[in-house]
Amino acid sequence: MNAVRREPRRNGAESAQSMLTPIPFPRVLEVFERHTRERFANLTNAQWEGLREIRRRVADGEIRLSVSDKGGEFVVLPRSLDREITKLHLNDTSVYSGSTEKAFLTQCHRLNALWVSIGKIAKLDNRLIKRLKLDTPSCPVFYSLIKTHKLSNGGESSVNASDYKIRPIISCVGGPTDRISWFLNKIVGQLLRYVPSHLPNTNEFLDRLRSCKLQENCVIESFDVTALYTNVNNNEALQAVSEMLDEHEAEVVTFGLSKVHIMALIKECLSCNIFKWSGKYFSQNRGLAMGVLEVFERHTRERFANLTNAQWEGLREIRRRVADGEIRLSVSDKGGEFVVLPRSLDREITKLHLNDTSVYSGSTEKAFLTQCHRLNALWVSIGKIAKLDNRLIKRLKLDTPSCPVFYSLIKTHKLSNGGESSVNASDYKIRPIISCVGGPTDRISWFLNKIVGQLLRYVPSHLPNTNEFLDRLRSCKLQENCVIESFDVTALYTNVNNNEALQAVSEMLDEHEAEVVTFGLSKVHIMALIKECLSCNIFKWSGKYFSQNRGLAMGQRLAPVLAICFMSRIERPVLARMPTLYCRYIDDCCVITSTQHEMDELFDILNRQSQYIKFTREVPHAGWLPYLNTQINISSGRYNVKWYRKNSSKNILLHAMSAHPGAVKCAVIRNMYKTATGVCTGEVELEESRKLASEIARMNGYGTQHGRSGLKRHFPGNPENMVHLRLPFISDKISAEIRQCIARADSADSVVLINLPGDNIKRQLVRNRLYDRACSTDNCVICPFGKVGDCTQRGTVYQLRCSVCDEIYIGETGRMLGIRVKEHLAGKRRGSLLTPLGRHRLEGHQGNDFDIECKILAYENEIGARKILEALHIRTKNPGLNNRNECLTITSELLPFIPFCGL
């Protein structure tokens, strides 16, 4: 092109004339005019015809013309097929959900308002603020690129939408975030140079490769992230940016914005997730919530029940009778079957047992509180001396413990023929249990059990399980005429001599002090705490206080370990005689000796060791001796073993019709068959055990194929490192659909579905604190509006209601509800503006007092779940007395699930 020639300065007329011919390059115009009629084309006539045809078809809406994802070649699809492909993609409710124009405009307004506010605070130029703020933004639009490289052979001619893989793209050009995100990118883009592994281009890669010190046998591979953009965790990405801004704040030009402002704007830009396709609005959620919600909504009207109408009627009748106080429903001691007793007979049986003054005596609430105070004081003192973490000391100390309660299990296997219909209390044998859950020793004894439980491996005769017993049996050198019997301790726990048990633990701690982890406690401290826990022996039944004067309480966490250590002292003389085999599982001993005389001697020795400890013995029947879940036969110096089920066992397993996942039922049967066949020594025993297992399976509604089926199971990579999606189990079909949602969200390697079974009949109707649910609060405002004893409940979401104006407050507590409500009442009494009731008294009733009513909305022990339940109730009921500070923010993912919460 010719350079512009400089002309001499012209007069004003000439200048005006030049303005009428605004052609800076007159010779260029001459070139264009000279070649006007010439034709320049790089297409043949046939190609031109084809191009016109494509244009016509595109204009007529027959086809869509695009380019492929990576190849760059043109892709021509029928418009109808293209729409089907896009619809199929947008139907993935784990990623997308429907939205509205109103929601889009709300997002735009929120982003603009935040941008203007932050811009003014940061004192940005008003022209910049105005320039980056879009008052009438376009809605981002969705389009896709076909991944032609992933089409199967001949797949390019398929008319099935599911055969095509696409790269989804949301074009944000002209959208609400377009200009603001450009500005933010100028800031955060500077952080890329501080990412150690980031490659801006190939040259950088080659430079790094040249600087490597390669070893002789080094290996090279490449890793590729699957669907990176849609699988990014936005919260973690924001956290990463935040950390890098903290670290490199001095090196990054932020144009006057603070880190808080930058992060707020980025987060708001990411929340602008609404786009448009084919006239409809969608939002990109990237998560499982919407997929799971869609599954639940699809099955809302379906009925899932595993009981017949007659069974439902029977269940309602039992519930009514339990609620009316006619009967007590419990389970038997060893059989596991339900036991139904008239409430009056049950009370007589318990009274008869507690009248044994050699074991029990009366006590008082004052004595119980004294025990609690003494144990807590000792624990705090020892914890400080041992320099334990203050949080641990506080956590294990219960300031308001529940009093342990007494309940019993009927030994149905010891009833005489027809005894199950007896109305005589003395005909029933029971297993007494003192439930210490929530009691003064509950947490401290848990901690002590972690220490003394380590001693069990040093008890020579202790058996942790059946496999250990079989291992010892295999290692025995059996003689030709050896004898086998089993000894059983009568009522071990209540007959343990506590002082001797403590002495046994003390001696074992002395002997194995170096091998035991004591968490900083000395032996003196451990023994003092154990002794104090054992002295907390007061319990409650039917409103009365009792103390156990002898032995260990079944239900005390330390009882099993102390009983085993105590028995190790009892059996020392027996072990000194070196029988062929002597082993014990809690109170069941298996003994093999060379002669019958030696067996009798050992039995006599054991019965002479303690005043209250007495043994019974069992000899083989038809050559077979039952022990644990096996039967042993010893003959001519050889032994045989087969699987065994006691006559007292009702062989109740998870029933085939129970509301549990099919995989769980298969696992139950599979494990039963595995146990039954794993203990056997020969083909005959193996066949008998299989036959018994098959019979038990049929009794519980299964076919024999369950035990041997080759069911394909899914094993997650590492469950400990995976997120547990815990959802109520409804049916295998629904669980399968939820797993598909996980897979569609590309989260199969990071999320595992945990099915939570619903409450079974036992959980619904069996109550161990049946006679001890009593109101413990003077002028109670809780129990009169719910159930007696509600004021003693822990882990609750509750509602307070003003009796004058019906305004409500919703809260949660992990403590005893009565104590939390007393704090509310104290705030009301003081008229404190910092408390909801005090503020309501001053602002709502001009200082006048009012009564309140409290009721429990939900029970939940886990603090996180409890706070979410509280927030859901607040969201649903919109209480006037809540200021929302006590309410967790409910995310948009959780809000749609409120109808399924039964609130």
Average of per-residue pLDDT across 456-467 = 94
In a domain, 751, yes or no: no
Higher pLDDT, 472 or 29: 472
Separation between Cα atoms, residue 538 and residue 559, nearest integer Å: 15
In this structure, the answer to whether residues 258 and 378 fall within a common structural domain is: no
Are 625 and 591 in contact, with CB atoms under 8 Å apart?
no
In a domain, 218, yes or no: no
The backbone torsions φ and ψ at residue 759, rounded to the nearest 5 degrees and listed phi first, read -65, 130
In a domain, 219, yes or no: no
Burial class (CB in 10 A: 0-12, 13-18, 19+), 613: buried
In this structure, the answer to whether residues 191 and 276 fall within a common structural domain is: yes
Average of per-residue pLDDT across 385-394 = 93
Give me the chain's average pLDDT, please.
87
In this structure, the answer to whether residues 578 and 493 fall within a common structural domain is: yes
In a domain, 596, yes or no: yes
**Confidence check: pLDDT of 746 > 80:** no
Give the model's pLDDT for residue 791.
Answer: 87
Of 506, 390, 392, the closest CA to residue 444 belongs to: 392
Domains identified in the chain, total number? 3
**pLDDT tens digits for range 863-890:** 878 888 888 888 888 898 887 655 555 5
Q: Kindly indicate the confidence band of residue 599, based on its pLDDT and cuts at 50, 70 and 90.
A: very high
In a domain, 547, yes or no: yes
Q: Kindly indicate the confidence band of residue 105, based on its pLDDT and cuts at 50, 70 and 90.
A: very high
In this structure, the answer to whether residues 152 and 259 fall within a common structural domain is: yes
Q: Kindly indicate the confidence band of residue 771, based on its pLDDT and cuts at 50, 70 and 90.
A: confident
Q: Kindly indicate the confidence band of residue 422, based on its pLDDT and cuts at 50, 70 and 90.
A: confident
**Confidence check: pLDDT of 18 > 50:** no
Separation between Cα atoms, residue 273 and residue 288, nearest integer Å: 16
The domain boundary, picked from 250, 279, 298, lies at 298
The conformation of residue 878, written as its DSSP 8-state character, comes to -
In this structure, the answer to whether residues 236 and 129 fall within a common structural domain is: yes
Higher pLDDT, 72 or 899: 72
Give the model's pLDDT for residue 460.
Answer: 93
**Confidence check: pLDDT of 8 > 50:** no
Are 810 and 582 in contact, with CB atoms under 8 Å apart?
no
In this structure, the answer to whether residues 287 and 182 fall within a common structural domain is: yes
- H or E segment and range at residue 407: strand 405-410
Average of per-residue pLDDT across 226-245 = 80
In a domain, 731, yes or no: no
Angle made by CA atoms 183, 230, 71, in degrees to the nearest 5: 90
> What burial letters (b/e) apply to 304-324, b meaning 16+ CB within 10 Å?
eeeeeeeeeeeeeebeebbee
CA-to-CA separations, 348 to 138, 328, 330, 344, 538, in angstroms, rounded: 80, 12, 16, 6, 21
The CATH code of the domain that includes 893 is: 3.40.1440.10
**pLDDT tens digits for range 654-676:** 899 999 999 999 999 999 999 99
In this structure, the answer to whether residues 237 and 372 fall within a common structural domain is: no
In this structure, the answer to whether residues 118 and 191 fall within a common structural domain is: yes
Separation between Cα atoms, residue 854 and residue 422, nearest integer Å: 44
In this structure, the answer to whether residues 70 and 177 fall within a common structural domain is: yes
Please report, to the nearest 10 degrees, the dihedral formed by the alpha carbons of residues 405, 410, 414, 419 taken in order: 140
**Confidence check: pLDDT of 436 > 70:** yes
In this structure, the answer to whether residues 392 and 243 fall within a common structural domain is: no
Give the model's pLDDT for residue 448.
Answer: 96
| 3-state SS, residue 626 | strand
In a domain, 602, yes or no: yes
Higher pLDDT, 1 or 120: 120
**Confidence check: pLDDT of 444 > 70:** yes
**pLDDT tens digits for range 689-727:** 999 999 999 999 997 554 444 444 555 555 566 778 888
| 3-state SS, residue 850 | coil
In a domain, 639, yes or no: no
Containing structural domain, residue 822: 773-901
Cα dihedral sign, 104-242-885-796: positive
Total residues belonging to the chain: 903
Cβ contacts of residue 868 below 8 Å, gap of 6+?
Answer: 888, 890, 894
**pLDDT tens digits for range 537-552:** 999 998 899 999 888 9
In this structure, the answer to whether residues 377 and 242 fall within a common structural domain is: no
| 3-state SS, residue 786 | coil
Higher pLDDT, 12 or 268: 268
In this structure, the answer to whether residues 467 and 369 fall within a common structural domain is: yes
Give the model's pLDDT for residue 716.
Answer: 54
Are 269 and 177 in contact, with CB atoms under 8 Å apart?
yes
Average of per-residue pLDDT across 594-600 = 94
The domain boundary, picked from 278, 298, 318, lies at 298
Are 149 and 71 in contact, with CB atoms under 8 Å apart?
yes
The domain boundary, picked from 619, 642, 669, lies at 619
**pLDDT tens digits for range 360-386:** 999 999 999 999 999 999 999 999 999
Separation between Cα atoms, residue 676 and residue 693, nearest integer Å: 7
Give the model's pLDDT for residue 13.
Answer: 44
Q: Where are the beta strands (DSSP E) in 46-90?
A: 63-67, 74-78
